[in-house]
Amino acid sequence: MDNMSVRPILEPATPVAGTTQPLKEGTILWDRYQLTEIVGQGGMGNVYRAEDLRLPGRLCAIKEVTPDTHLTVELREQAHQQFFQEASILAQLDHPNLPKVSDFFDENGRDYLVMDFVPGKDLKQLLDESREIGQQLDERIVISWSKQIIDALNYLHSRTPPVVHRDIKPSNIKLTPDNRIKLVDFGLVKLLAADEARTITVVQGRGTALYTPLEQYGGDSGHTDIRTDIYAFGATLYHLLTDYPPADAKARFLNPRTLRSPQQLNPDISSKVAEAILWGMEMHPDDRPQTIEQFAQALYGKITRPQPVAHGGVAQALRANWFLVLLALGLFFLAIALTIL
């Protein structure tokens, strides 16, 4: 499987209710990019495959961002200016595991981001194919993919200012025909502000619930940082190695037991990898690995997780240890009853 041959595949996207009406095939944008197919649809716009008419033979992926109709004219203009400012930051990124952003422009009231078109299948497709033949993805293969993802995240997080992806999931990670991993979809990238007190969204959007930590549920008002990516990456590994989507953060907050150990679902997962995944998916950011490199060291078995930091005072401690509390109360009342008798 290490030499897996993956043919480039591009299936027409299924229309999604409430999405922006896509442009027609053959439409030429910016007097340069001819749309050949729509490959993705969402509430914020569409993603197209296109041919670069100035560079014959070159294929691109064009991400379309439509204005929020609920915003005032002034706020729409601010969002438009922010798109151009932050798209220029994305265009400066250069890493072998990231698609290169080559252009950005606006046309007919919509903003567009032009990137390299990445052939191949995403990891969600590969996971589905393994399930269909009754197999699970091999840990060694998943870890080999992880090394490339870690390189990409380390590059993003070490930028000045740091760049946070905020939407890491199997369907946003592609495997090219030459077995190179590409972390795609910059739709939720964030730049950390200099004071680290807030983040600035690039190409507005939201994460996917199954892979989203609790602090991201606040949307743009929530404080997300590089540890947000670590949680999503851990949740992605959980799904790939167990073939079960992880319990979302809201469900885990109400009942911590909803998240089962990866080894319960797949006994073939090594203890070091299972422990690293659970560490990366800790509910509180302070309890997770603080850097992607620290997470990598745990994943490779070079370090073990420290004791979790206490948070939230007595109420949270009682909620997290409810069984022990009930047991202690039961023993207490039993002792009183025996004393009376």
Report the SS3 class of residue 198.
Answer: coil
Determine the 3-state secondary structure of 38 from DSSP. Answer: strand
Coarse DSSP helix, strand, coil percentages of the chain, rounded to the nearest 5 percent: 40, 15, 40
Q: Which helix H or strand E contains 65, and what residues bound it?
A: strand 59-65
Name the token pair of 9: 């595949």
Cα separation, 130 vs 147, whole angstroms: 21
In single-letter form, the type of residue at position 130 comes to S
Question: CA-CA distance, 322 to 316, in Å (whole number)?
Answer: 10
Question: Comparing C-alpha atoms, which of 243, 299, 14 is closest to residue 126?
Answer: 243
Q: What are the structure tokens assigned to 78, written together?
A: 């601010």
Q: Judge whether 224 and 164 are in contact, CB under 8 Å.
A: yes
Which residues have a Cβ under 8 Å from the Cβ of 147 and sit 6 or more positions away? 296
State the Cα–Cα distance between residues 325 and 333, nearest whole angstrom: 12
The reply to whether 220 belongs to the active site is no
CA 26/CA 15 separation, integer angstroms? 19
Name the active-site residue from 167, 229, 248, 287: 167
Catalytic residue positions?
A: 167
